[in-house]
A and B are shown apart, each in its own frame.
Chain A
Amino acid sequence: MNSINDRSRYIGEFVPAADDDMLICRCEEITKGEIRKAVHDGMFTLTEIRRYLRTGMGLCQGQTCAKLVKGIVARELGVSPAELEPVTSRAPMRPTEMKVLGKEVKEEE
């Protein structure tokens, strides 16, 4: 891993900004300010942010906000967005009801 995961790195204090109330994750209704604060709370990776705030955990599974969140976190950490590891990809890639997920079909060879 790289320096992003170095938790002893000082990234400065959280400084409130005028656009902190801008909605970023449309599904879970998480604002830019909440994401920025989370970084200062010690959430340095996108996976941590996701678990901490639920960004990208709503119905659309981050289709819309993933890139936006990445940009905000990178800026707060002072790194390029390309350096941040994207969140884990896992099934189901699209909203799927539990009753459907549980209904597996055994196909003939």
Chain B
Amino acid sequence: MKRYDLIIVGAGPSGLSAGIEAAKKGLKVVVFDENAKPGGQLFKQIHKFFGSKEHKAKIRGFRIGEELLQEANDAGVEVVLNATVTGMYQDKEIIVRISDEMHHYKGDAIIIATGASENMVTFPGWTLPGVIGAGAAQTMMNLHGVKPGNKILMLGSGNVGLVVSFQLMQCGCDVVALVDAAPKVGGYGVHAAKVARTGVPFYLSHTIVKAEGEDHVTGVTIAEVDEKFQFIPGTEKHFDVDTICLAVGLSPMSQLLKMAGCVMEDNPKKGGQVPICDEYGETSIPGVFVAGDVSGIEEASSAMIEGRIAGVAAAKYLGYMDETELKGKVTELEHALESLRQGMFAPKNRGKAIEETEEGIAISKNLLKHGFVADDEIERFPGVTHKAGIHPVMECTQNIPCNPCQDACPKHCIKIGEKITSLPAVDESVDCIGCGMCVASCSGQAIFLVDETYEEGYATVTLPYEFLPLPEKGEKGTALDRSGKEVCEAEIVDIKTSKAFDKTNLLTMKVPADMVMKARFYKRA
């Protein structure tokens, strides 16, 4: 039987991060992954990540994946692909299927970083071809370059449902509706807003009655539900779709830990069955650690930090570092992790109804119900100001851990401060030069540049645009408001693309002056 200092199961963000830290301390590390490619779900994430610099904010997920792989290579982490760990036994022994053979390995320490699996919901027709998981949609479009469908209904308004809806539109699919049985949008408001303004209708307190079709999906019926999630008769709505996408949450994939005998708990705040572990991710079995979604559903940024913590903790467990060094390393990592776990969407706030922001501003009710901030709500947020000439309007209305806009402005006119969940505010004493760096840096695509006094009777709105084909300068189309409703004619007066914007193009459209606080998206004629 082959022995390693450290065996890691899963080469996703947390597993690779753990491997890097342990290998850097001199441990002989191997990472097994059942997939043909490393990186877990990171390579399907094409949006810019949230957080701050230390969390690699405003970098797209797949780029973070590339950096992580490079780092793992440099550190000498051995990654074995197409290697399925099918069992874990006493004394840290595992069996691995590699091609058509079973191999036994023993680790002096083991880190389980197997991630999560998707939850599903049932409705008549849910087994029809064309009903797919949101992860399947991401895999098909972002890894394999194949559209999951043409007309798609998304079930689930959490971040996965919102992000995947946007990605579906980016690859040319038509998202006909976003549906959730819950009465409120579950994910970040900024993710919802960027979907809503393209014209996707949100149906909260609605769910799927049935999927229609003989051999594959040809349509879907949804209906409103009451507080007890029972259908309200007469509220049915039909859509012609070829695909229904399910994004209804994730569950930790913790079976290996249960099999090995770790003490488990069913923790709804963590998404299901998770091992009980300490702050280093060590389970009830000494030397068996966990990191990432398998220890509680969060996201890739926190998974990477948890991985690093587990990696150094494993090094300490095997005597490759002392208590002082461990404490030193972990303190910094825990600080980074803690800052991600702040704000309205923090794990500790799951299920809580939050009425106002940390600043004491009432949350937009319309955002939670329809996916966009209403015209009569937007003015109360600190990022929304008015002045002559060009200036940023930051429609960031919820406390989420994210601050790249603050660093993006070369004139320092955006202030978030020490607490990264604070709403961005404008320093009105500094003049905006209209460079657009803040627009491109906002992972939530919530920053616009407006010039309320562009020319007599007209204003301009500069917006982030990540679709193809790009409009042409001088072309005329329609401006859509935050709800996706057509509000006026718009003329494209400028298009900026730059390496620094990382594929977020900046469209500047000219609209009638009274539309400057309404027009937020551009639809080609």
On whether the two chains bind one another, the answer is yes
Residue B84 interfacial (CB < 8 Å) = yes
Q: Are B1 and A107 in contact, CB atoms less than 8 angstroms apart? A: yes
Chain B residues 135-162 with CB under 8 Å of chain A are none
1/0 contact string of B258-270 vs chain A (CB within 8 Å): 1100001011100
Interfacial chain B residues near A6, Cβ < 8 Å: none
- Distance to closest chain B CB from A52 (angstroms): 20
Query: Of B101, B120, B267, which is within 8 A of A105 by CB?
Result: B101
B255 close to A93 (CB less than 8 A): yes
Contact between chains at A67 and B119 (CB < 8 Å): yes
Q: How far does the alpha carbon of A22 sit from the alpha carbon of B255 in the complex, in Å? A: 27
Taking a contact as CB atoms under 8 Å apart, the answer to whether A104 and B259 are in contact is no
Q: Closest B-chain residue to A62, C-beta based?
A: B255
- Judge if B227 is at the interface, Cβ distance under 8 Å: no
Segment with Cβ contacts to B, from A9-17, A37-45, A83-91: A83-91
Contact, CB under 8 Å: B259 / A109 = no
Within 8 A of A (CB), among B251-303: 251, 255-256, 258-259, 264, 266-268, 272-273
Chain A 50-84 interface 0/1 with B at a Cβ cutoff of 8 Å (1 = within): 00000000000001110110000000000001110
Instruction: Give bound CA distance, A76 to B264, whole Å.
Output: 24
Interface-centre pick from A32, A67, A68, A99 (highest chain B CB count, 10 A): A67
Q: Which residues of A contact B127 (CB under 8 A)?
A: 23, 26
Type the 1/0 row for A89-109, where 1 means its CB is closer than 8 Å to any CB of B.
Answer: 111111010011101111111
Contact: A104 with B102, CB < 8 Å?
yes
Q: Are A93 and B102 in contact (CB under 8 A)?
A: no
The CA-CA distance from A92 to B268 in the complex, in Å, is 27
Contact residues in A for B3 (Cβ distance below 8 Å): 109
Whether B34 sits at the interface, judged by CB under 8 Å, is yes
Q: How far is the CA of A105 from the CA of B483 in the complex (A)?
A: 60
**CB pair B2 A86 closer than 8 Å:** no
Distance A81 CA – B266 CA, assembled complex (angstroms)? 9
- Asked if B456 is at the interface (CB within 8 A of a chain A CB), the reply is no
* Chain A residues closer than 8 Å to B259, beta-carbon distance: 89-91, 93
Would you call A24 an interface residue if the criterion is a C-beta within 8 Å of the partner chain's C-beta atoms? yes
Q: Which of B1, B104, B122 has most chain A Cβ within 10 Å?
A: B122
- Measured in the bound complex, the distance between the Cα atoms of B117 and A94 in whole Å is 13
Instruction: Indicate if B95 sits at the interface (CB-CB under 8 A).
Output: yes
Given the known inter-chain contacts A93-B86, A101-B102, please indicate yes or no for A107 contacting B2, CB distance below 8 A.
yes
- Measured CB to CB, the closest approach of chain A to B252, in angstroms, equals 11
Tell me the nearest residue of chain B to A93, going by C-beta. B86
Complex Cα gap A2–B103 (Å): 39
Q: B97 near A: Cβ within 8 Å?
A: yes
* Inter-chain contact B86/A91, CB cutoff 8 Å: yes
Taking CB atoms, residues of chain A closer than 8 Å to B120 are 64-65, 67-68
Contact A82 B2 (CB under 8 A): no
Evaluate contact between B95 and A91: CB separation under 8 angstroms.
Answer: yes
B124 interfacial by beta-carbon distance below 8 Å: yes
In the assembled complex, the CB of A101 is this many whole angstroms from the nearest CB of chain B, namely 6
- The contact of B97 among A68, A89, A100, A106, by CB within 8 Å, is A100
Nearest Cβ on chain B to A76's Cβ, whole angstroms: 16
Q: Does B215 contact A (CB under 8 A)?
A: no
Chain B residues near A81 (CB, 8 Å)?
266
**A93, B273: Cβ atoms under 8 Å?**
no
Residues 480-496 of B contacting A (Cβ, < 8 Å): none
- Report yes or no: B258 in contact with A86, Cβ–Cβ below 8 A: yes
- Give the residues from 1 to 36 in chain B that come closer than 8 angstroms, CB to CB, to chain A: 1-3, 34
Question: B102 near A100 (CB under 8 angstroms)?
Answer: yes
Give A33 to B430 CA distance when docked, in angstroms: 67
| A24/B122 in contact, CB under 8 A | yes
Inter-subunit contact A22/B124 (CB<8 Å): yes
Q: How far is the CA of A63 from the CA of B34 in the complex (A)?
A: 15
B101-A100 in contact (CB<8A) = yes
User: In the complex, what distance in Å separates the CA atom of A64 from the CA atom of B266?
Assistant: 17
A108, B3: Cα distance in complex, Å? 9
Return B270 CB to nearest CB of chain A, in Å. 11
Assess whether B347 is interfacial by the CB under 8 Å rule: no
Q: For residue A105, which residues in chain B have a CB less than 8 angstroms away from its CB?
A: 101-104
Contact yes or no, B2 A108, CB < 8 A: yes
Q: List 13 A-B contacts (CB under 8 A).
A: A32-B122, A63-B117, A65-B120, A67-B120, A68-B122, A89-B255, A89-B258, A89-B259, A93-B255, A104-B104, A105-B101, A107-B104, A109-B3
Binding site for B on A (CB under 8 A): 22-24, 26, 32, 63-65, 67-68, 81-83, 86, 89-94, 96, 99-101, 103-109
Excluding A92-B95, A94-B86, A104-B103, 16 further A-B contacts by CB distance (< 8 Å) are A24-B122, A26-B127, A67-B272, A82-B267, A86-B266, A86-B273, A89-B256, A90-B87, A90-B259, A91-B86, A91-B87, A91-B95, A93-B256, A94-B34, A104-B104, A107-B1
